[in-house]
Structures are given as C-alpha cells and as structure tokens.
Structure 1
Amino acid sequence: MSGSTRAVVVDDSHFMRTMLSDMLENGGVSVVDTAADGAEAVDAVLEHEPDVVTMDLQMPDVDGLEAVERIMAKRPTPILMLSAHTADGADVTFEALEKGAVDFFTKPGGEVSTRMSSKEDQLVRKVKAVAGADVSGGRGAGSSAPSRATQSTAEPSTTAGDYEEGATVLIASSTGGPTVVERVVGALPRDADFRIIVVQHMPDAFTGRFADRLDAASEYDVREATDGDRIGGGEALVAPGGKHLVIAGAGGGRLRTKLTEDPPEHGVRPAADVTMRSAAETIDGPLVGVVLTGMGADGAEGARAIKDAGGHVIAQDEASSAVFGMPKRAIELGSVDDVLPDDEVPDGILDATRLEVNA
C-alpha cells in the first residue's frame, strides 16, 4: 500500500481499535499500529512516524489529552480526536485542540460505538484531510487563543468612529478552525462594533460550547444562534450544528436570522455558503467575508456572492492553514481581496472597514 496515508489508531477498547482499523483499511488508509492507552500511543508514534493518529479521549492511566501533549512535544503529528457526542465531550475536545490536535470526529453512540461503521466514509475523508495538515510550525491548530489583555491587534486609540458603521463580518471555518476562530474573534476590538456571524463545521453538541469559548475569549457578546435571533453591533452568533443560519432581514442596525433544516451543502449543515449568500442578498451595509482553514469548498461561492455585492473577502493563507481546501477554492474563484496568515486576519478585517479619514 505504498504511498497511502499511514495511521496509528488509539483506543482503550479492543473492539473499537479493530473496528476503526478495519474502516480505515477499507478506505485505503494503512494502519501501521494500534495502541490501548496514551503511553502506548506515544511509543507507536515515535516508532512508526505515522501521517496521522486517531486518538480516543477517555483512557486509563495516560489519557488522550496527555498523549496529545506528549506527541506534540516529541514528534508533532496530525491528530484526529474521537470524541463522545456530548457537551462534556465537547469541553475535553476543545482542550485537545488547544494542545495541538487538528480536528475531531464524534462517535455516534458513546465511547464503544457499534454505530461507527455507518460513518466509515466520513471518517476516512476526515482522517485523510487531517493527515495533510501542517503541524510543524505551531501556527495553525494548537495555538491557544489570546488573553483579553493581549488579544487586540488594533491600535489602542481606536474608537467606533474609526470604522464604517454597521459592518458585518461573516467567518467560515472547518478542519483546524476552532482555535483560529478564537484568535480572530478575540483580536477584534469591541469599539469596531461589528456584527459577527461564525459558521464553523461542528456537530450540535459542540457549537454551544464553542460559542461560550468565543464569548470568554473576546470583547464581543457571543452566543449560539436560535431561530429568529437578532443581533446588533458588538454581538456575535455561532451557527448551531445541524442547521443552516440564514440572514432573513436587516434594519435599524440589527440583523434578523432564521434557522433551517434545508439539505446540507457540500455535505455539511451549517454551510457557510448559505449564510454568506443570504447576507449578500439582504445586507446593504459593509460586509466582510472571511474564509479560514478547512477541507472542501464551503465558503467559496458565498465569498463570491459577498464580493459581487461590494463586500471585502479575506482568505487564510496556505502556510498558516491546517487544511488549505476552503481558502484555496475561494481564491481560485477570484473573489478574494486579501490572502493573509491567521495572525494578520484581524487587522485585515479592521483595514477593510476602517474609514479613510484623510481621503
């Protein structure tokens, strides 16, 4: 199987190790070793130098979190966490992403899941995408969000009057994205008074926790969107897992949203294209679209709609993207104004909305 993706499978359940290995092998991924706990996982990574690791979270002795930390310290390797589809699972998973894991995949039926086989195609695609992530530089996945004391890249003297009034920022992100989104939103000053919408590909048990994390990391009031939600300046919504978020109206400085269960686009729901297209059709004020790291093509058509409506589009560059699929597709469509590393995206947003006072 020369040239195939090489994986190490880590799970304390023999049943799950066997099932996962069979699923990956069926999909063309070569499983070079398995491990029953975190200590074995570290040894296997050092011995086999795989392209990717699938990592269980809950294991005796050395758990998944500690294993991620050790692997990233000794031999940085793309890691896909396998997480329980629960709120508690979400909290621990986000910790794993902070420690360097690239992405996660939720087990549909608990820690030992006989229903995993129904997710074989999705798991194989995710493993192959994560295997292509660049984790050597530490800039994409795994860099923790800034504290409020250091987060803003804007000049300290900025005020609301420095920016176009009523600007809306729409952020699309997928694989490798949660930590990047935290840094971007955390670096935007409240004085800019943006209305922010985040579409991060993530299941429903996770998006509420993700909104809480963004709220804690930023000066903006962030919450998971509900049907009919309205937001104004200084507020942000996260599209909930399993539903598309549509901008249904704009007026009086506020946006009105609705949630739909229309079919997935690009195999995902929420899809950023849905949100971005509706924003381009509905919002008259300044629009900024941001396409961050992720596999697939979601966000590209939406970015083009924003560009066609007179908005400004930013794409994350290849060097800082864990997976350069979504930004690359947006760039290929010719709708991107700026291609920036993740740590320059906040300034790119501010520059796109800053008033030309000396013009």
Structure 2
Amino acid sequence: MRADKVAIGPVHGEASALRVLIVDDSVVARTVLERILTAHEGFLVAHKTNNAQQALDFLARKPVDLILLDVEMPGQSGIVALPKILEAGNGAKVIILSGNCQEGSAVAVEALALGASDILSKPDRGSFGDQFARALLGRMERIFGAERDDDSSAAIHLRQPSGERAIACIGVGASTGGIHALGQLFAGMTVPMGVPILVTQHLPPSFIPYFATQLARMTSLPVKVAEQSEILMADQIYVAPGEANLGCRRTWNGQIAVALSSDRTPLSSLPAVDPMFMAIARCYGSGAVGVVLTGMGRDGTSGAGHIVDGGGIVIAQDEASSVVWGMPGSVARAGLATALLPPEKIMPFATQRCAILA
C-alpha cells in the first residue's frame, strides 16, 4: 500500500503500516527515531543505516513509504544523495533531518527544491525529547494524514474556460512540496509568457530570501521579492514576502502595482493564496490565470472562485504528482479547475490557451 493512500492513525498489522527507512550516521539518533516510530502503530521501521549508499542498496531491494534522511553523513552527504534517493525511492517521501540544517537556511531550501517533502531541525544528541517527537509526528501528519474534506469522494468536473482575452497575469500558489513543484513548473515554461507572474509559497519569513534565490536558479526569468507599490512588469516573477500577502491594485494612470497586506483570517497562512487570486481577478478580469500546486488545506479555493467568476481560468496540480493533494484537490472538487496536470505541463497548457486567445 503506497504512502499517499494511507492516513496516519492507529492501524493494526504490519501490512497497513507506513514503511520507514532511517538514514543517519548517529546511532543515538537512529535509536531515538526508531523508538518514536515504533511507539505509534501506524509505522514500521523497515531498515536503519548510517550512510547514503547503504540506503540506496536497500531501496533497490525493498520499497518504503517514507525516508528520514540526515544531511551530515560519512561519504556522501544527504543533500548530494537526495536526487538518487528520491529516484530509488520510487515515490517515497523524504523528510530531511539535520542539526545544521536550520529551517530557514539555504541548505533547507535547496533540499526542498530538490524534492524533499519537508525538513526538521534535529536537536543535539542529548536533547531528544517529547517536543522533537511531536514535531516529527506533526510533519508526518502534514504529509500523510492531511485532513480529508467531507466531499472528498465527490466527482470532479473540469470547467470549460470562458472569456475571450489573452492571458494578462499568472498567480501561482503552493504549500507543502511546492518548492520542488515550482521548479518543475518553470522548467516546463519553454517560452516567455509575456505577463507578470506572482508566486505565493507558504513559508516563514526566514525562508524567503533563500527561496527567491533558489527560484531564480530554476528559471531564466528575473525573480524578486515583491515590494509595495512597484509596477508589475511582464516576464518578471514576484515572490510574496513572508510577512505579507501579495496582491495588486490599479493605479491612477491605469498601471498595475504591487499591493502588500498583512491582513489574515484565523484559518489562513501569511502569506496566503486567496488574497493574491482575488487581487489578480479584480485587476486582470478574464486575463487572470490561477495555478494551484501541492499543499495542505484549502487556501486558494475561495480566490479561485473569484478568478473563475471574472472569466479567468484556474489550473490545479494533479493528485499523482502532489506531495499533498489538499489545496489543488479542494479547487478540483469545487469544480473550479479547467485542467489537472503535473507541474511541468501547466505552463505549456497556459501558453496554448494564450496563443488561441491572443
């Protein structure tokens, strides 16, 4: 049974448990991690090893659902080995654990860009405790046990696009697994779109400088953290700051400028996708395109409704390629998506529509 089909929670029998591979050069860390996991009936420690090569050897023989991967190890580091481990894992999720990989660091963002599902700072060897155990289980809950909507079994109907204008602006929203998905999204953009691209990725403020730098490596387009009142330019990527929602407004002379806001609802992240989608719907009307990538929760669904009501289109990442099909799944079940696609096919789809309507 694959990991993305298993919800965290008490289960009975090894056949239903999530199979976990622990890769850490510290015997203390391996022992503590195994103790945390075996105390929960939803997990089975399939194997423990202290280096990346042995992990690859095991993955060549046995499947797992989750890999807990240390960064600092003898021989090959976890970051260097990560691409091969993801390939050998054949769909297994990877959580990076490291005492020197702070959650807002460049190394952490690089790990997420390479395809890690999440990262968690590992305490000193003598400092493992209940707080770390709760944090680790919380990360697993985020990936494997994302809440299911009451209408999760509802049939999904794709919406036929309306409106007759060319694309004028693209807004992209993402959360868990989104940094890697963004890399795939921009890798699939073989020609410039000729429009501004706004990106809201759920991240704390400390991540944002490294995230923008990493994003710039994924595309030939210029990337910057959005600043209040700057005029939106074509073929420029604007990243939402960690402490504000990224929106836009029309100026007195008809140009469209960045409008940042720190307003939040009790259930929303900051930055959030909904305000961004609402803003581009208001400013660009039927020329607005919303893209919803992997992430937990429903952020983006309300804003997607505004885009559709204004004549624009919304494209959501498909379930098979998502780390967590929460945000895109919510949009799809609401009947707001024109297409469900893997990230690398989204920009070509949008380009095709732009060419038709231009």
- Matched residue, 1:209: 210
- Matched residue, 2:25: 12
Report how far residue 336 of structure 1 moved: 1.1
Higher mean Cα deviation, 332-341 or 68-77?
A: 68-77
Mapped pair 1:78 → 2:93: yes
1:127-206 equivalences in 2 (<5 Å):
127-128=143-144, 164=166, 167-188=168-189, 192-206=193-207
- Matched residue, 2:49: 35
- In structure 2, the CA distance between the partners of 1:282 and 1:106, relative to structure 1 (3 Å rule), is farther
Q: Contact 1:27 / 1:121 at 8 angstroms: preserved in 2?
A: no
1:276-315 equivalences in 2 (<5 Å):
276-284=277-285, 286-315=287-316
Report how far residue 333 of structure 1 moved: 0.3
Distance in 1 separating the partners of 2:126 and 2:209: 24
Q: TM-score normalised to the size of structure 1?
A: 0.74
2:135 counterpart (119, 135, 147): 119
Report how far residue 255 of structure 1 moved: 2.4
- In structure 2, the CA distance between the partners of 1:179 and 1:113, relative to structure 1 (3 Å rule), is farther
- Matched residue, 2:271: 270
Distance in 1 separating the partners of 2:340 and 2:88: 32
Distance in 1 separating the partners of 2:138 and 2:70: 17
Distance in 2 separating the partners of 1:342 and 1:207: 21
Distance in 1 separating the partners of 2:309 and 2:213: 33
Report how far residue 116 of structure 1 moved: 2.8
Q: Which amino acid aligns with 1:257?
A: A
Q: After TM superposition, where is structure 1 displaced by more than 6 Å over at least 4 residues in a row?
A: 108-113
- In structure 2, the CA distance between the partners of 1:62 and 1:190, relative to structure 1 (3 Å rule), is closer
Report how far residue 276 of structure 1 moved: 1.7
Mapped pair 1:250 → 2:250: yes
Distance in 1 separating the partners of 2:38 and 2:202: 26
Residue 231 of structure 1 aligns to a residue whose secondary structure is: coil
Query: 1:195-223: per-residue Cα shift (whole Å, max 9, x none)?
Result: 11112233433332232233233342211
- In structure 2, the CA distance between the partners of 1:86 and 1:58, relative to structure 1 (3 Å rule), is farther
Q: Contact 1:55 / 1:81 at 8 angstroms: preserved in 2?
A: yes
Distance in 1 separating the partners of 2:256 and 2:305: 23
Residue 72 of structure 2 aligns to a residue whose secondary structure is: coil
Query: 1:119-170: per-residue Cα shift (whole Å, max 9, x none)?
Result: 245323135269xxxxxxxxxxxxxxxxxxxxxxxxxxxxxxxx837x1101
Mapped pair 1:55 → 2:69: yes
- Matched residue, 1:93: 111
Q: Which amino acid aligns with 1:262?
A: R
List gaps (5 residues or longer) in structure 1.
131-162
Query: 1:90-130: per-residue Cα shift (whole Å, max 9, x none)?
Result: 35415xx43xx441223286898755345245323135269
Distance in 1 separating the partners of 2:196 and 2:116: 28
Q: Contact 2:226 / 2:246 at 8 angstroms: preserved in 1?
A: no
- In structure 2, the CA distance between the partners of 1:232 and 1:292, relative to structure 1 (3 Å rule), is same
List gaps (5 residues or longer) in structure 2.
1-11, 147-164
Report the identity percentage: 25
Residue 302 of structure 2 aligns to a residue whose secondary structure is: helix
Report how far residue 352 of structure 1 moved: 3.6
Query: 1:280-332: per-residue Cα shift (whole Å, max 9, x none)?
Result: 34544621001123333222222122112221111122344344332221111
Q: Contact 1:230 / 1:257 at 8 angstroms: preserved in 2?
A: no
Residue 183 of structure 2 aligns to a residue whose secondary structure is: helix
- Matched residue, 2:7: none
- In structure 2, the CA distance between the partners of 1:29 and 1:37, relative to structure 1 (3 Å rule), is farther
Q: Contact 2:187 / 2:344 at 8 angstroms: preserved in 1?
A: no
Q: Contact 1:306 / 1:313 at 8 angstroms: preserved in 2?
A: yes
- Matched residue, 2:234: 233
Report how far residue 191 of structure 1 moved: 5.1
Q: Contact 1:38 / 1:66 at 8 angstroms: preserved in 2?
A: no
Q: Which amino acid aligns with 1:346?
A: M
The count of residues paired between Structure 1 and Structure 2 equals 318
